[in-house]
Amino acid sequence: MAWSADGFPGLRGLSLRGLSGWGLSTAGLALLLAEAAVLGCGPPREPCPPAPTGGASTEWPSYGNDPGGTRYSPLADIDGANVRCLEEAWTYHTGDLPDSRGEHASSLASEVTPVLVDDTLYLCTPYNRVIALDPETGRERWSFDPKLPLDGHYANQLVCRGVSPWLDPAAEADDLCRRRIFTATNDARLIALDAPTGQPCLGFGADGQVDLNPGVGEQEWRGEYQVTSPPAVGADVVIVGSAVADNRRDDAPSGVVRGFDARTGALRWAWDLRPPDFVATAANTTEAGYALATPNVWAPMAVDPERDLVFVPTGNPAPDYFRGESNLDHYGSSVVALRATTGEVVWNFQTVHRDLWDFDVPAQPTLFQLRRDGEEIPALVQATKMGLLFVLHRETGEPLFPVVERPVPQIEVPGEYLSPTQPFPTKPPPLVPHSLSPDDAYGLTPWGRGACREALAALRFEGIYTPPTEQGTLMVPGNAGGSNWGGVAVDEANQRLVANVHDLPWSVTLIPREEAEAEGFERDEFAEYAPMRGAPYVMRRVPVLSPVGIPCNPPPWGMLAAVDLETGSISWQVTLGTSRDISPLPIALETGTPTLGGPLVTGGGLIFIGAAFEKVLRAFDVENGREVWSARLPYGPQATPMTYRAGGRQFVVIAATGYERGGMPPGDAIVAFALPTE
């Protein structure tokens, strides 16, 4: 399912508030500020070297640059020698802020990575407006507004991560809609636009759009079923999944994945995620015959055009934390390879069996050629919320590093059954810890550590995959990751993977329904409660924090790591993010923060990443993880950057649009950086 794709409601309590509770006096705070000021004063800057100019223009034609989502660019105009000279080239404000539309029912989280084709940048906003910009100046060329209804309750926030270009090879050069921009909306419409003008392609569906709502089952409210990630395009088929409200009911809308003709919008195929032994009845299927409450596919997909394959990261069935006798897990929390032209299942690899932790696969599978013993193997790597990386053969789904089934906790939960084992890759090692004991409790004072020690000791934990319980279960890592929708970047030439992860423990408690619905039952304002109708429990979920809002596990709480794909070893791991923008005072403590968004790796030997809950874009040396540049942004960069060359200059672009549910105010800035021309 999709909750943690688009929301961390429990993070409203993560504020590092109440610094006086850390035992810091006024004098101590002043000293910290003075030290920060001194550290900010470095030696005089050397003159910038002349910026490279005159190179050929390049594109960023897909969400992850290539259809396989490597988030890698060979551009090297910006490198370790001149990155310190990067400066803001232009900023574009979309204007799509909460108060721009009056009352709004959902919070905003843009999360967009623009694409660049035909010398034009294309992006979308949380209100699903599609905008075309000049890549050199940021000036608007056109915008299209699908008139998203705002009277709905969009369960996964208002989100649009990107759009997808497609060039019709059968069209003439001057044909209208020869180049199309496909976008999918929060109210579940698939829209085709003419790329040069932004006008709807009238021959696609009904006047340029296909309504995705019919056939998926009855919705309790507008926005229970939505689309937040860019469509995938394979050959002449445009493919969409969905984000469905989590933890609501055991007859949630279907998670069907559908492929539509890219020219006409006609349905070409539908992949119903029902298990092979599913017994269909009128009560458990939709009017179109799709099974209800199946896993859905909310994260971006990847495409291998040469092999006619689309790689689909699946969620888990409904509801997330208790499913009783449900047998809908066959395709849950998996990477599935489909034939792009037909929707036929080619192979399926499950990353979590009987997923009761909301460990759905959150990120785009990343396709690359793995070098081994002189051979190049078509591979993919899948990042997961558990901080595990599964490296698989792209044609068969077979692991390219051994995966072993290990016994996991078997705690009795009445009416529920568990998988006795779970899959663990032998390499690479986990990118986040899989354990946390009361003795590990963190705090800046004995009082804070003591409170965290008590909180951890009260929770059930026998290792990762301890099931949800009435006592309350500690989740390490939490259901937000590890990795999330930002995914990873892969430099194929150097067989290097870069990933950002965060480490934040959560607790999940199953509350008997009669108790939760009894008069006088008190609810914690910082916890999320979900009804899970059809199950005997209501779910309570909240991050495990100290009384002053500090995570109870030791920092760093956000990290950036590099992995050698040939050996499966971690090359380096560094802290990502400071406390500057989530604490009441502007003190940049090197704690790391939760991260949402992904990395970009370039041929200049650099990693560009925002993602941290801090208004900063950073560059790191890919060889050693040393931070070599940073720039303040107007809003939080909870998105993935991209890069291109236009007019002879290399640009790096990031959406600084914040993350309202995580305490980062929503914004509307698209910011481009480049080397100075003089």
d(CA 244, CA 230): 16
Location of structure tokens 């496909």: 182
358 is catalytic: yes
| Residue among 187, 358, 581, 668 flagged as catalytic | 358
Distance of CA 283 to CAs 168, 218, 605, Å?
41, 12, 56
Query: Alpha-carbon torsion 598, 601, 606, 608, what sign?
Result: negative
d(CA 188, CA 296): 14
Spell 394-426 as b/e; 16+ CB within 10 A means b. Answer: beebebbbebeeeebbeeebeebebbeebbbbe
Angle at 252 between CA 326 and CA 216, to 5 degrees: 115
d(CA 420, CA 286): 32
Neighbours of 53 (CB within 10 A): 13
d(CA 613, CA 38): 24
d(CA 181, CA 201): 9
d(CA 94, CA 655): 10
Using CA atoms of 213, 219, 221, 223 in order, give the dihedral in degrees to the nearest 10: -40
Tokens coding 493:
């030439």
- The answer to whether 279 and 239 are in contact (CB under 8 A) is no
Neighbours of 151 (CB within 10 A): 10
DSSP per-residue codes, 4-52: HHH--GGGGG-S---GGGGT--HHHHHHHHHHHHHHT--SPPPPPPPPP
DSSP code at position 545: B
Residues of the chain by 3-state class (helix, strand, coil), percent to 5? 10, 30, 60
d(CA 613, CA 558): 9
Query: Alpha-carbon torsion 456, 459, 461, 467, what sign?
Result: negative
Burial (CB count within 10 angstroms: exposed 0-12, middle 13-18, buried 19+), residue 581: buried
Location of structure tokens 């030997």: 605
d(CA 22, CA 19): 5
Question: How many residues are given for the chain?
Answer: 678
Q: Which residues contact 607 (CB under 8 A, 6 or more apart)?
A: 489, 498, 560, 599, 600, 601, 619, 620, 621, 622
d(CA 639, CA 112): 6
d(CA 264, CA 210): 10
- Grouping H, G, I as helix, E, B as strand and the rest as coil, residue 457 is helix
User: Which one-letter amino acid corresponds to residue 33?
Assistant: L
- The answer to whether 65 and 300 are in contact (CB under 8 A) is no
Catalytic residues: 358
